[in-house]
Amino acid sequence: MCGIIGVSNHKDAAQITYLGLYALQHRGEEAAGIVSFDGQESHLIKNQGLVAEAFNERDIEELKGPTAIGHCRYSTTGSSNYKNIQPFLVIHKGKPIAVAHNGNLTNTEELYARLEEEGSVFQTTMDSELIVHLLVKTSRADLKKGLIDVLTQLKGAFSLVLMIGDYIVGVRDPQGFRPLCLGKLDKSYVLASESCALDLIRAEFVREIEPGEIIIIQGQKMESVYLPSSQKDKRAHCVFENIYFARPDSDIFEDNVYRVRERLGAQLAKEHPVEADFVMAIPDSGNYAALGFAKELGLPFEVGIIRNHYIGRTFIQPTQFLRDFRVKVKLNPIRSVLKDKKLVVIDDSIVRGTTSRSRVEDLRRAGAKEIHMRISCPPIKSPCFYGIDFPNKNELIAANHSVKEIADFMKVDSLKYLSLDGMLSVMKQPNNFCHACYSGQYPAPIPRLQSKYLLEGARPGNKS
């Protein structure tokens, strides 16, 4: 999962891209990069860390030109290191070609082997680099035909923002796994993963890019074309975007994330009511489901835990060590609120179970009398191959344990999950969502080598 943004035809393109990445920080906290083009030269700055750490004022001043794209990374293919930071940029025949990619390709190994046999030399261990190699190899002189030629070779999840010379291109795969939207800022166009980025830069939300659509922007001109399979492919919007990843102030998949989470909480209350003194959330992503749960049952809603906002999201940290550390310092229970109380604790999901157990232990130490955990999605039992780091079943607690065993491990008085049917019932157009991580029903072919590091180690010289 990553955040991507592109700006065309604006004198402050790099500054706007930076602000947009700031709004999309929740989508990736490992690294960030921006590339701009001034009509003659491209300018690239990228660094590990948060957006505010990756750039300084001088960096932004050096990113000259009216065209820019940016990326903030949460690694799902390739290690978390400098060479894998996006945007990925090459100069081909004097023209910059750069890619910012959100999602995962599922035919990475096949494309890599073919391109390597044809003479391509790879600089990273990301699937995203494959797209650039395909672009420079296409024999099509016409940009539209060349893009279609390249993009029809890709399988899996890909929302893209490309910079090809002074063109900005936005793409969604035909199944629409990841979000991407279009905005207008005065006479400039903006592409972004989520509408919250448009809000920050005060751009007008125009619409979502449709699955299978290619938006080609040059200056004030915009053209739209579609991949040949875009009408026949079944939609597969990632439901976990609505449950956890997207910001609640964003509109994605023709709905508002806040309202979806609130409806999830209400449905959870209908399925698994409980008597308690009050409802509380594991902040922040559990807040809105907790509000819906409390409203549905007429229970008080209380803030029982305070979040340290200087600590990032724990789930998207690349190692278990960092996740465990951040859990300890991220949330702090309020003893005077919790002491001797029967709690309904709402969380958006349980992935590995270690962070949830730690939070329950903190609530017990703060004096909670009973803890009834309610989860606003079904048990996560299967890996994701479309851009979320659910790498294998060994790390998914629900894939290997019953709900009762998970409850015992977490030491809660009761544990209940929202049903799959209940989750889908609150979505607009429920048949248009991918729920493979819950159901094991994959809407697109999955890779033969099911590893985040499939381009590392196995090939000499590629190990990071």
Written as one string, the DSSP assignment of 39-104 is SS-EEEEEEES-HHHH--HHHHHHS-SSEEEEEEE--SSS-SSGGGPSSEEEEETTEEEEEEEES-
Q: Return the pLDDT at 38.
A: 97
451 SS3 class = coil
Reduced DSSP (H G I as helix, E B as strand, rest coil) percent helix, strand, coil of the chain, to 5 = 30, 25, 45
List, as one string, the DSSP characters of 62-75: HS-SSEEEEEEE--
DSSP 287: H
- Measured distance CA(338)–CA(25) in Å, rounded: 32
Q: Return the pLDDT at 380.
A: 97
The token pair that represents 354 in the structure block: 């270690």
Q: What is the pLDDT of residues 380-392, one digit of tens each?
A: 999 999 998 876 8
Amino acid at the residue 9: N
Q: Return the pLDDT at 313.
A: 55
Mean pLDDT by 10 residues, the chain (464 residues): 95 97 96 97 96 94 97 80 93 95 94 94 92 91 94 97 97 98 97 98 98 96 93 92 97 98 98 98 95 98 88 57 62 95 97 92 97 98 90 88 98 98 97 97 85 60 36
Q: What is the pLDDT of residues 95-124, one digit of tens each?
A: 999 999 999 999 999 999 999 999 999 999
Contact by Cβ (8 Å): 13, 64: no
From the candidates 2, 181, 238, 437, which is the catalytic residue? 2
- Say what the pTM is: 0.92
Which CATH code fits 3-236?
3.60.20.10
Give catalytic status of residue 2 as yes or no.
yes
- Measured distance CA(91)–CA(84) in Å, rounded: 17
The token pair that represents 257 in the structure block: 């994330």
**Cα atoms in the Cβ-side hemisphere of radius 13 Å centred on 182:** 20
Query: Long-range contact list for 390-394, CB < 8 A, 24+ apart?
Result: 390/351, 390/437, 391/451, 391/452, 392/450
- Burial grade of 86 (CB within 10 A; 0-12, 13-18, 19 or more): buried
Contact by Cβ (8 Å): 445, 155: yes
Q: Return the pLDDT at 353.
A: 92
Which residue from 238, 244, 247, 227 is spatially nearest to 178, judged by alpha carbons? 238
User: Could you tell me where in the chain the CATH 3.40.50.2020 domains are found?
Assistant: 256-439
| Residues contacting residue 449 through CB under 8 Å, at least 6 positions apart | 109
DSSP 25: G
CATH architecture of 256-439: 3-Layer(aba) Sandwich (3.40)
Q: Return the pLDDT at 463.
A: 33
Unique residue bearing structure tokens 């079904």: 378
Q: How far is CA 91 from CA 24, 69, 125, in A?
A: 27, 15, 19
User: Could you tell me where in the chain the CATH 3.60.20.10 domains are found?
Assistant: 3-236
Q: Return the pLDDT at 448.
A: 76
Give 33's strand partners.
46, 71
DSSP 183: E
Strand extents, DSSP E, 386-462: 414-417, 433-434
Radius of gyration of the chain (CA): 22
